[in-house]
Amino acid sequence: MFQNPVHKAWQKQSALKAEAEAHAASALRAAAKLSDVLTDSLNEEVREIYETQKLLETESQLLRRELSEARATLTAWQAKLRVLQEGLKGAGDLEHYAEYLAREAALVARASAEKGLLGGAGRAAAAVASSGAAISGGGGDSGAAGQASSAIVVGDAAVDEQASALLPLSSHLPLSRGASR
The pLDDT score that the predictor gives to residue 155 is 44
Residue 4's pLDDT is what?
Answer: 84
Q: What is the pLDDT of residue 115?
A: 82
Taking residue 118's Cβ as centre, other Cβ atoms within 10 Å add up to 22
Scored b (16 or more CB within 10 A) or e, 80-117 reads eeeeeeeeebeeebeebeeeebbebbbbbbbbbbeeeb
Environment class of 120 (CB within 10 Å of its CB; exposed 0-12, middle 13-18, buried 19+): exposed
CA–CA gap between residue 95 and residue 88 (Å, rounded) = 10
Neighbours of 18 (CB within 10 A): 10
- Helix (H) / strand (E) element for 152: namely strand 152-154
Helix spans in 116-169 (H) = 120-130, 161-165
Per-residue pLDDT of the chain (181 residues; tens, 9 = 90+): 677 888 888 899 999 999 999 999 999 999 999 999 999 999 999 999 999 999 999 999 999 999 999 999 999 999 999 999 999 998 989 899 999 999 999 999 888 888 876 555 555 555 555 554 444 444 444 343 333 334 444 444 444 444 444 444 444 445 444 444 4
Residue of 176, 146, 143 lying closest to 164 (CA atoms): 146
